[in-house]
């Protein structure tokens, strides 16, 4: 079965994947973002994170708004996608791909730990994106998505 082949009970190399491994579990999200007309939109959602591919990668599923919530699955404010992340064999960087069919997006990221935070950059198309995971604790974290139309200079 696909689920049996995909999911793993833990990391293949304990400690090596802690940057994202510390997010493994189910999370309730309080999400805020800008609508296309520039106003703020708030929604609750879900994040599910687990070990995959024999414990060599971390996969997550983001659902905003959450299942059964108003606006679920309605673009452009909703997103329901998955990211697969793995540590490059040299141990220097994370490689990550986000796939999100609701809005038809696929983005590749390269990331690195910056102290206790993890920063992922995507410059494979416009706009340039930076995703940051900060303030990670046992029951909360902050995720930020920042865009730039000048290669990250502003």
Which pLDDT tens digit goes with each residue over 92-125?
899 999 999 988 999 999 999 999 999 999 977 7
Whole-number pLDDT of residue 50: 97
Which pLDDT tens digit goes with each residue over 13-71?
988 889 999 999 999 999 998 877 888 889 999 999 999 999 999 999 999 999 998 88
Token output for 148: 């730039």
CA distances from 53 to 58, 111, 151 (A): 8, 19, 33
The pTM of this model reads 0.90
Question: Residue 9: pLDDT band by 50, 70, 90 thresholds?
Answer: very high
Q: How far apart are CA 45 and CA 123, in angstroms?
A: 27
Q: Domain residues of the chain, as ranges?
A: 2-148
Question: Residue 83: pLDDT band by 50, 70, 90 thresholds?
Answer: very high
Token output for 70: 């108003």
Considering the domain delimited by 2-148, tell me its CATH architecture: Beta Barrel (2.40)
Question: Residue 133: pLDDT band by 50, 70, 90 thresholds?
Answer: very high
Q: How far apart are CA 67 and CA 90, in angstroms?
A: 38
């Amino acid at each position: 079965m696909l689920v049996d082949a995909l999911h793993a009970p833990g990391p293949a190399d304990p400690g090596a994947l802690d940057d994202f491994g510390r997010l493994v579990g189910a999370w309730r999200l309080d999400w805020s973002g800008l609508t296309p007309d520039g106003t703020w939109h708030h929604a609750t959602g879900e994040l599910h994170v687990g070990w995959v591919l024999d414990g060599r990668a971390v996969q997550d599923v983001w659902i905003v708004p959450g299942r059964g919530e108003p606006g679920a699955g309605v673009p452009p404010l909703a997103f329901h996608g998955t990211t697969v992340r793995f540590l490059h064999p040299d141990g220097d960087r994370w490689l990550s791909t986000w796939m999100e069919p609701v809005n038809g997006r696929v983005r590749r990221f390269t990331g690195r730990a910056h102290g206790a935070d993890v920063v992922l950059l995507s410059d494979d198309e416009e706009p340039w994106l930076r995703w940051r995971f900060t303030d990670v604790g046992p029951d909360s974290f902050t995720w930020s998505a920042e865009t730039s139309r000048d290669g990250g200079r502003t």
